[in-house]
Amino acid sequence: MLVKRLMADPALRSSETGRNLLRLLALHALRKEEWEVIISNVPPHCSDIVADLARQFADLWSEFAERIGEDVARIG
């Protein structure tokens, strides 16, 4: 629901960077059941690589969230 609200924001939709962010957010906005289907279909021989990549991406998203929070605190 929050992603849909952001997708209606003209400030995000009007730039390529904003549209890229919206695409990334929409990609990750899956229901738990959808994640379960994906998890159960990762081939065992790929699971270590997929898990490692997921951790790396989680770290990147965490850093992204911290930096966004810092910017908001600095401006506000």
Q: What is the pLDDT of residue 76?
A: 65
The series of mean pLDDT values per 10 residues for the chain, 76 residues long, is: 93 96 94 96 98 97 94 72
Residues 21, 7: Cα–Cα separation, whole Å = 10
63 and 26, same domain (yes or no)? no
Domain count for the chain:
2
Sequence-distant (≥ 6) Cβ neighbours of residue 69 within 8 angstroms: none
Q: Are 7 and 26 in contact (CB under 8 A)?
A: yes
43 and 9, same domain (yes or no)? no
Range of the domain at 10: 1-30
72 and 40, same domain (yes or no)? yes
Residues 17, 23: Cα–Cα separation, whole Å = 10
48 and 68, same domain (yes or no)? yes
Q: What is the pLDDT of residue 70?
A: 86
* CA neighbor of 61 nearest in space, from 34, 28, 36, 35: 28
